[in-house]
Structure 1
Amino acid sequence: MRRKILIVLVLIGIAFVFIGGPSLFASPSTSDVAPEEDEAPDLVTFDDSESGFWAFMNSAQSFEKRSPINVIVRGDSGDVIQALSEEGNGEWEEMSENETDAEPETYSFLSEEQHHATGLEWGEAAGTTRYAWVDPGPNESGYWMTETLQLDNGDYYGHRMHIRLYEAPNENDNWVAMQGHTEHFDWFTLRHRVDGVESAQLAIERDFMSLPSIDNRSDVTRINIENSGPSDADGWATLVDLVGMILLPVGMGLTMASQFGDRTTSVLNRHLTRVDRKRIAVVTDRIEARHLMLAATILTLFLGVRIIGVVLERHVDFLSMHMIAALLYPIIAIGIPVATYAIAHGLERRMDAAITASLTLAVAIWIDYGAMGVDSLPIDVVVQRMFVVVTIGLIAAGAARRATRDTHWNSLLLTGVLIWVLVLGGTLFGYF
């Protein structure tokens, strides 16, 4: 019993050190649990316009401060849409999904010759609506409006930027409010998860600044509209002045660069004692081919789903988004725990199997986040990831030979399988 308790404590420690700790202390969105709510919201207005808008949008018609507006373009809505969706502008495609639901069917919006860089046709948005509060001005009442257009850049099953556009309620007011954010597809929850708003805002800002008609910085500025708080929003929105300009196709470029430095060896040499080195040597001697096989299998299954999902999305036209999810999700939900059990069953020590499986899954999660450019996570995702990391370790420990001497269905394995089913099932049904 003491050994089992020790295994559980070690797994919890791994989950916190490699998942919970870095996410909670480094992620700017982990504190967004209960958004504030305004009863009488202040409006963003302009001197030459009668109408105004509230600085947030929401999934419901309520004044919860959830999704901050972060780009405002002064100009005709048609010109703004042309600037973002003109053929040859780069990799923008019209949005067909939102960050939480998967409704992949799209409909023709532009001509058949205009395509996304991946080969997808432009299609009208069919995802769940987000509401923005607008006030037309004197003698009229404010109301909730739905987005004029949704656009995205990237892959449905990978990482993408997503913007929603809301045009002024009055024809002559010439403004378009936009909410841009980055998001990635979460294979554990089968939903899109918003990563943050700042990087998308910067990309849209650079996109407009690349217009030939914008020849000085005064046309693209930032104004404080006091909507900081959600995600990594700082309250400053980009203001683009397109009034009177002749718009040309805009180029959109996304670059990701990462630098890795390895100072592990020098740090170990400075701080490890002789006893520490002996302990490491003992652990190293216990490593066998099956440990490496277990680690490689978990990495391959987890990261392979991401890669295959993007490949199928780009190159297999007859598969819908739902069909791709139906094909690949069982690899996450069933394939990983089954493969973990099958390989770990050949290992002798429960602790070795548990640590190998948990550490590998934690590393796979961080590799995936790094590839997707994720830099912030909500608290519910952090907790869920900690659970799956602990659970896969319990399954591996329960599969080891020392755990299955008397019966295959031991307490470690049963606990791991039960928690795995509850966590993934609860997540899919919205309880997690």
Structure 2
Amino acid sequence: MRRSIVVGIALLAVAVLFIGGPSLLFSPSTDEITPEETDEPEPEIVTLEDSESGFWPYLNAREHHEQRSPLNVVVRGDLDRIVSLLATHGDGDWEETDHDHFEADELLELPNNESTTGMDPETDPTEADNTTADAIRPIEPTAIPWSDADGATRYAYLEPGPDDDAFWTTETLQLEDGEYYGYRYHIRAYESPNPDDQWVVMQTHSEHFDWFTLRHRVDGVEQAQARLEADLMEIPGVDIQEDVQRIYLDNSGPSDADGWATKIDLTAMALVPIALSLATKRRRKAHSEPGGILQRAGGEIDAYLTDSDQERLRAVADRLEARHLVLAATILTVILGVRIVGVALDRTAGFLTVHMIAALLYPVIAVGLPVATYAIANGLERRVDAAVAASVSLAVAIWLDYSLLGVDVIPIDVIVQRALVVVALGFIAGGAANRATRGSRLNDMLLVGVSLWGLVLVGTLFGYL
């Protein structure tokens, strides 16, 4: 029992050091990513010059005036022309979306009375519009429960004119640039209810798929807004001085929204034929530091270590064996492999829906990872060594996954969930070690690890974490 307590303390230290520490240092605080809870405001309609129609500068998952998801791009022009120009100019591979999906877990949207660690938005699923061309792919993110959500939407509040009643409407279309099971930019576009006014208002954000929660996590709006703005300015004929400006919509607060929207006028441009790309590509460049930095850092650390510290480190190194490396490599392969295979299947296996891909790959993490960890750790002698090796490997795999995706915003609920799965996997590995299984294979560490692993994943799927 005493050894189990020691292992538990070691695992908590690993979770705090490798999950909580980097998260607190490098991620925004919850105040920066969580919208303030407010009563339903009186909607203030935004109108553009030479336009009778207008819009309320927020989107919602239901038909209520709650300041949730801020609109951040306004384009003057015909929607078909805008889609065509985005497809043929700029650096993005924007595609329209039409396949089934689940709801997103968005930082920009929190239901009323939800804590900062509960990120499940209230949803009002509707059937997706499947009338678009086969070249069009989805961008709408996924969430739980799978089987109940054939499509999800966001409502915009539009006013045709001062003499007409305003109404709620769903998006005209959605666009994506990126990978469904990786990282992507997402646009929801809403066309003016008055055809003579020729404007389209958009909400764009960046998001990534989280395999541990089976949700898309919205990372923010600022980067996506800048990306879309840059793509629109790449269109030939756009005069940056005359056609591009920032307008203040006073809708700051959710996520990193600052209340300023990009406004671009394309009404004077010639129509460009629509030529949507057939393949979704992600053009994010991975930034890596040269290996020499690690060597220099190691030399600086050695300068601060005493002889006894170095002796302890050598003792730990002497206890390492091939099975530790196999355990680490297996955990890294499972986490990063599921990400890569998910993206590959979404690209190439057109006969598989996103639900099918998730159903195929999620068990690899939920069941395969702890089973493989137990099988490999069963050949290790020391409980602490096995537990620390597994938990550190999982923490490293999680951060490598985030690094490859380019994610730099991690909400509190995700930090807690990741810390718990790191601790759980460590207990499973520790409970599989030879010294733990001498009395019985169903020892206390294994039971705690399996129970914690199951409770965390089930609690996450049902929205409790």
Match of 2:233 in 1: 209
Match of 2:18 in 1: 18
Partner secondary structure for residue 355 of structure 2: helix
Match of 1:6 in 2: 6
Q: Given the superposition, is the C-alpha separation of residues 29 and 196 from structure 1 closer, same or farther in structure 2, using an over 3 Å criterion? A: farther
1:419 aligns with 2:452: yes
Q: Map Cα deviations across residues 77-102 of structure 1 (whole Å, 9 max, x no partner).
A: 33223323469985222223465299
Q: For 1:347 and 1:293, how far apart are their aligned partners in 2?
A: 11
Match of 1:118 in 2: none
Match of 2:252 in 1: 228
1:255 aligns with 2:284: yes
Match of 1:54 in 2: 56
CA contact under 8 A between 2:51 and 2:197: conserved in structure 1? yes
Q: Given the superposition, is the C-alpha separation of residues 142 and 332 from structure 1 closer, same or farther in structure 2, using an over 3 Å criterion? A: same
* TM-superposed deviation, 1:39: 1.8
Partner secondary structure for residue 297 of structure 1: helix
CA contact under 8 A between 1:29 and 1:231: conserved in structure 2? no
* TM-superposed deviation, 1:140: 2.9
* TM-superposed deviation, 1:104: 11
* TM-superposed deviation, 1:180: 0.9
Q: Map Cα deviations across residues 133-183 of structure 1 (whole Å, 9 max, x no partner).
A: 223332333322211101111222222111100112222222211111111
Q: For 1:103 and 1:172, how far apart are their aligned partners in 2?
A: 29
Within-5 A mapping of 1:59-70: 59-70=61-72
CA contact under 8 A between 2:35 and 2:254: conserved in structure 1? no
Q: For 2:443 and 2:102, how far apart are their aligned partners in 1?
A: 42
Partner secondary structure for residue 161 of structure 1: strand
* TM-superposed deviation, 1:45: 2.4
* Equivalent residue for 2:407, pick from 369, 374, 392: 374
Match of 1:71 in 2: 73
Match of 2:337 in 1: 304
* Equivalent residue for 2:132, pick from 109, 113, 117: 109
Q: Which runs of 5+ in 1 are unaligned?
A: 116-120
1:36 aligns with 2:65: no
Within-5 A mapping of 1:68-217: 68-85=70-87, 91-95=93-97, 96=99, 97=101, 100=104, 107=130, 109-110=132-133, 115=135, 121=136, 127-217=151-241
Give the percent of matched residue pairs that are identical in Structure 1 and Structure 2: 54
Q: For 1:277 and 1:430, how far apart are their aligned partners in 2?
A: 46
Q: Map Cα deviations across residues 230-269 of structure 1 (whole Å, 9 max, x no partner).
A: 2222222211111222244799983324132434213213
Q: For 1:302 and 1:269, how far apart are their aligned partners in 2?
A: 32
Q: For 1:25 and 1:166, how far apart are their aligned partners in 2?
A: 38
Q: For 1:317 and 1:103, how far apart are their aligned partners in 2?
A: 23
CA contact under 8 A between 2:52 and 2:197: conserved in structure 1? yes
- TM-score normalised by the chain length of structure 1: 0.90
Q: For 1:318 and 1:357, how far apart are their aligned partners in 2?
A: 36
Partner secondary structure for residue 262 of structure 2: strand
Q: Given the superposition, is the C-alpha separation of residues 104 and 305 from structure 1 closer, same or farther in structure 2, using an over 3 Å criterion? A: farther
2:250 maps to amino acid: E
Moved more, 157-166 or 270-279: 270-279
The Cα RMSD (Å) is: 2.8
Q: Map Cα deviations across residues 107-147 of structure 1 (whole Å, 9 max, x no partner).
A: 4524x6xx4xxxxx557986301112223332333322211
* TM-superposed deviation, 1:299: 0.5
* TM-superposed deviation, 1:200: 1.2
Q: Which runs of 5+ in 2 are unaligned?
A: 106-124, 141-149
Q: Map Cα deviations across residues 380-428 of structure 1 (whole Å, 9 max, x no partner).
A: 2221111111111111111111211111111111111111111111212
Match of 2:365 in 1: 332
CA contact under 8 A between 2:139 and 2:180: conserved in structure 1? no
Q: Given the superposition, is the C-alpha separation of residues 122 and 413 from structure 1 closer, same or farther in structure 2, using an over 3 Å criterion? A: closer
CA contact under 8 A between 1:226 and 1:235: conserved in structure 2? yes
Q: Given the superposition, is the C-alpha separation of residues 63 and 272 from structure 1 closer, same or farther in structure 2, using an over 3 Å criterion? A: farther
- TM-score normalised by the chain length of structure 2: 0.84
Residue correspondences, number: 424
Q: Given the superposition, is the C-alpha separation of residues 98 and 47 from structure 1 closer, same or farther in structure 2, using an over 3 Å criterion? A: farther
Q: Given the superposition, is the C-alpha separation of residues 370 and 253 from structure 1 closer, same or farther in structure 2, using an over 3 Å criterion? A: closer
2:400 maps to amino acid: I
